[in-house]
Chains A and B, each alone.
Chain A
Amino acid sequence: GAGVSQTPSNKVTEKGKYVELRCDPISGHTALYWYRQSLGQGPEFLIYFQGTGAADDSGLPNDRFFAVRPEGSVSTLKIQRTERGDSAVYLCASSFATGGYNEQFFGPGTRLTVL
Chain B
Amino acid sequence: KQEVTQIPAALSVPEGENLVLNCSFTDSAIYNLQWFRQDPGKGLTSLLLIQSSQREQTSGRLNASLDKSSGRSTLYIAASQPGDSATYLCAVRNSNSGYALNFGKGTSLLVTP
Number of interface residues of A (CB under 8 A): 29
Size bracket of the B interface = 20 to 34
Interfacial residues, chain B to chain A (CB-CB below 8 A)? 4, 31-32, 34, 36, 41-46, 49, 51-52, 89, 91, 93, 95, 98-106
Contact A108 B43 (CB under 8 A): yes
Taking a contact as CB atoms closer than 8 A, the residue among B41, B91, B99, B102 that contacts A31 in the complex is B99
B44 touches A100 (CB 8 A): no
* Nearest chain A CB to B24 CB, angstrom units: 14
Q: Which of B42, B99, B105 has the most CB of A within 10 A?
A: B99
CA of A48 to CA of B44, assembled, Å: 17
Give the residue name and chain of the A residue nearest to B30 (CB).
A100
Shortest Cβ distance from A40 into B: residue: B105
- Could you tell me if B52 and A106 are in contact, using CB atoms closer than 8 angstroms? no
Known: A100-B95, A103-B49. 11 other contacts (CB 8 A): A6-B43, A43-B89, A43-B91, A55-B98, A55-B99, A59-B100, A104-B34, A104-B46, A105-B46, A106-B44, A108-B42
Q: Contact: B100 with A33, CB < 8 Å? A: yes
